[in-house]
C-alpha cells in the first residue's frame, strides 16, 4: 500500500528487533507440531514451544519481503522514524479496495489480511526474545522450517490464491 501511495515499505519497529535475532513459526509446522503433541504418548500433558528452529534478522527479511512484492523499502530509521502500523492502516480500506479491484484479487477487507496491532507488538519489542525447541526435540518432535524459505513460500501462496498482488 505504501508503494501505491508513493512511499516505501518502511520498517516500523524498534532497533532491537531490526538488529537482533528473531524466530518465527510457520503455520504448517505449528499444525504438524499440534498433531504430534496430540497423538504421541510421550508428549501427553506437556506444554511446548513451537518455532521454526532457526533465527533470522528483520534487516535481512525486510529487504526480501520488499523484493517479493517488488516495492522499494527503507530499514530502521531511528526512534523518530518509528510508527504504528495499526494507526497507519486506519482509513486505508478504500485504498485496499482499489488494489483488490485493479489486481482482480479475492475480495477481502484490509483488516482480514493483517492484524496490524500484532505486527506492532512483534516489531516493537525492546528486549531480545527467542524461544527454544529443545523440549520438543527431547520428546521426539524433529520438525523444522527455514524461515526465509517459509516467508517466501507464504508470499507465493498468497499471490497464487490472489489474496495479495
- State yes or no: pLDDT of 2 exceeds 60: no
The band of 7, judged by pLDDT with boundaries at 50, 70 and 90, is confident
Please, what is the average pLDDT of the chain?
Answer: 95
The total of other beta-carbon atoms located within 10 Å of residue 13's CB is 22
pLDDT average, residue stretch 117-142? 96
| pLDDT tens digits for range 45-54 | 999 999 999 9
| pLDDT tens digits for range 100-118 | 999 999 999 999 999 999 9
User: Which domains does the chain possess?
Assistant: 9-160 (3.40.50.720)
pLDDT average, residue stretch 86-92? 95
The total of other beta-carbon atoms located within 10 Å of residue 122's CB is 15
Amino acid at each position: 500500500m505504501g508503494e501505491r501511495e508513493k512511499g516505501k515499505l518502511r520498517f516500523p519497529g524498534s532497533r532491537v528487533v531490526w538488529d537482533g535475532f528473531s524466530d518465527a513459526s510457520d503455520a504448517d509446522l505449528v499444525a504438524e507440531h499440534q498433531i504430534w503433541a496430540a497423538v504421541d504418548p510421550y508428549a501427553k500433558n506437556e506444554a511446548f514451544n513451537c518455532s521454526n528452529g532457526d533465527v533470522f534478522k528483520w534487516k535481512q527479511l525486510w529487504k526480501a519481503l520488499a523484493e517479493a512484492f517488488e516495492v522499494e523499502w527503507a530499514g530502521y530509521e531511528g526512534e523518530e522514524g518509528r510508527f504504528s502500523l495499526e494507526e497507519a492502516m486506519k482509513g486505508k480500506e478504500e485504498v485496499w479496495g482499489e488494489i483488490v479491484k485493479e489486481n482482480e484479487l479475492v475480495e477481502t477487507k484490509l483488516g482480514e489480511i493483517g492484524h496490524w496491532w500484532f505486527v506492532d507488538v512483534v516489531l516493537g519489542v525492546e528486549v531480545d526474545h527467542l524461544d527454544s525447541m529443545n523440549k520438543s526435540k527431547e520428546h521426539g518432535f524433529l520438525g523444522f522450517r527455514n524461515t526465509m524459505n517459509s516467508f517466501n513460500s507464504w508470499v507465493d501462496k498468497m499471490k497464487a490464491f490472489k489474496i495479495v498482488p
